[in-house]
A = this chain, B = another copy of it.
Amino acid sequence: MRKKDYLKEPIKHIDIKKYNVVEMIENMGDMAFSARELSRAGKIYDTMLRDKKCTVILTLAGSLFSAGLKKVVYDMVNNNMVDVIVSTGAIIVDQDFFEALGFKHYKGWYQNIDDNELRKLHIDRIYDTFIDEDDLRICDETIGKIANSLEPRPYSSREFIEEMGKYLKQHAKNKESVVLSAYEKGVPIFVPAFSDCSAGFGLVLHQWQNPDKHVSIDSAKDFLELTKIKIKAKETGIFMIGGGVPKNFTQDVVVACDVLGYNLPMHKYAIQITVADVRDGALSSSTLKEASSWGKVDTHCEQMVYSEATIAMPMITAYAYHKGGWKNRKGKRYSDWLNSEGKNFSKKTASNL
């Protein structure tokens, strides 16, 4: 087979605005097991959106956007259903920014597949999805080019991703992009392990070519910025897809406030979609009850949903979308704040809050 025979059918993103699942999800609340959990998670998300004081943080892990979930998050950003995003790098750079550059993900398969042949054809595989490695290299290089254009200093990943948004504002071939719309809506995106993706390749190239003066990515600054948001927001709810660093990072922010001397409430709402098993002791699978021992998550409005994300995430978000709790909600534009007062919000100035 030739390369074009593998890369034929593009992944299409699901559009939650088309499916009114409200009654079905509510009826699932009278069943048991995962159906009831899914239903309760939908209701908690809707409650978060109706709670005007509550800042909603979305955490993303797993190959979600290559799997067709990009438009779900795009619609959440555009409808003020989320205020802050914390993500793995692959979702934001290799998948969202990549598609904004005009590239696509393709439907593939995993049974009887010859991965060595794929490699020779420059095709990367994610389970049942194919990607053109040559396209990805252009994505890497674009990151390098953006880095080359910036003043050499430490950036938070959030600042760098805003620069990606600015770049897309001018050059996007596909405007249905979370990076772009988050930039326009002032929704900060944090990627605490920013080098661990296509961005890493671009930045390594940038630093390799500019050994003395270069852009660096300061993950401590990321954590400080998110901590500042928590201090400003006070009440927060988290909607977690998968676990990993984004989950941990976001839960930890409550403790960080405490370390800085701010006694703030735990995350008031928390839902997580995951298939990870609690018994392996990893963070991804640790229960939200366990997080409450650490002072991170309140246990009154929390729900874990045991499901793979491509099924559960569209259903929970479609429920909340059609339920309409977001309609009276305004965007909080935390990016604007971080770029202005929030920038100098520190030990000295915090008393003015």
Cβ–Cβ < 8 Å partners of A281 in chain B:
32-33, 62-63, 67, 126-127, 129, 308, 310
Cβ–Cβ < 8 Å partners of A220 in chain B:
194-195, 200, 203-204, 206-207, 215-217
Q: How far is the CB of A166 from chain B (nearest CB, A)?
A: 20
Cβ–Cβ < 8 Å partners of A217 in chain B:
218-220
Cβ–Cβ < 8 Å partners of A125 in chain B:
290, 293-294
Which residues 1-34 in A have Cβ within 8 Å of B in the complex?
9-15, 18-19, 21, 23-24, 27-28, 30-34
User: Judging by beta carbons under 8 Å apart, are A219 and B195 in contact?
Assistant: yes
**Contacting chain B: which of A49-57, A107-115, A330-338?**
A107-115
Q: How far is the CB of A142 from chain B (nearest CB, A)?
A: 13
This chain: how many copies in the complex? 4
Flag whether A61 is at the interface (Cβ < 8 A).
yes
User: Judging by beta carbons under 8 Å apart, are A255 and B201 in contact?
Assistant: yes
User: Judging by beta carbons under 8 Å apart, are A224 and B249 in contact?
Assistant: no
Cα–Cα distance between A248 and B245 once the two chains are bound (Å): 12
- Selected contact of A196 from candidates B193, B201, B211, B289, CB within 8 Å: B193
User: Judging by beta carbons under 8 Å apart, are B12 and A31 in contact?
Assistant: yes
User: Judging by beta carbons under 8 Å apart, are A137 and B294 in contact?
Assistant: no
Number of residues in A with C-beta < 8 Å to the partner?
Answer: 119
Cα–Cα distance between A337 and B116 once the two chains are bound (Å): 34
User: Judging by beta carbons under 8 Å apart, are B128 and A293 in contact?
Assistant: no
Q: How far is the CB of A318 from chain B (nearest CB, A)?
A: 8
Q: How far is the CB of A259 from chain B (nearest CB, A)?
A: 5
Cα–Cα distance between A298 and B14 once the two chains are bound (Å): 31
Would A115 and B194 be within 8 Å (CB), given that A216-B218, A310-B34 are in contact? no
Q: How far is the CB of A233 from chain B (nearest CB, A)?
A: 16
Q: How far is the CB of A278 from chain B (nearest CB, A)?
A: 7
- Selected contact of A124 from candidates B127, B128, B294, B315, CB within 8 Å: B294
Cα–Cα distance between A245 and B279 once the two chains are bound (Å): 20
User: Judging by beta carbons under 8 Å apart, are A201 and B32 in contact?
Assistant: no
- Selected contact of A61 from candidates B15, B38, B127, B282, CB within 8 Å: B282
Flag whether A165 is at the interface (Cβ < 8 A).
no
Which residues 213-236 in A have Cβ within 8 Å of B in the complex?
215-224, 227
Flag whether A205 is at the interface (Cβ < 8 A).
yes
Flag whether A346 is at the interface (Cβ < 8 A).
yes
User: Judging by beta carbons under 8 Å apart, are A252 and B196 in contact?
Assistant: yes
User: Judging by beta carbons under 8 Å apart, are B290 and A126 in contact?
Assistant: yes
Cβ–Cβ < 8 Å partners of A133 in chain B:
294-295
Q: How far is the CB of A155 from chain B (nearest CB, A)?
A: 9
Cα–Cα distance between A112 and B116 once the two chains are bound (Å): 12
Q: How far is the CB of A225 from chain B (nearest CB, A)?
A: 10
Flag whether A140 is at the interface (Cβ < 8 A).
yes
User: Judging by beta carbons under 8 Å apart, are B193 and A245 in contact?
Assistant: yes
- Selected contact of A208 from candidates B126, B216, B347, CB within 8 Å: B347
Flag whether A263 is at the interface (Cβ < 8 A).
no
User: Judging by beta carbons under 8 Å apart, are A30 and B12 in contact?
Assistant: yes
Closest 5 CB pairs of A and B: A31-B68, A35-B310, A216-B218, A12-B30, A32-B67
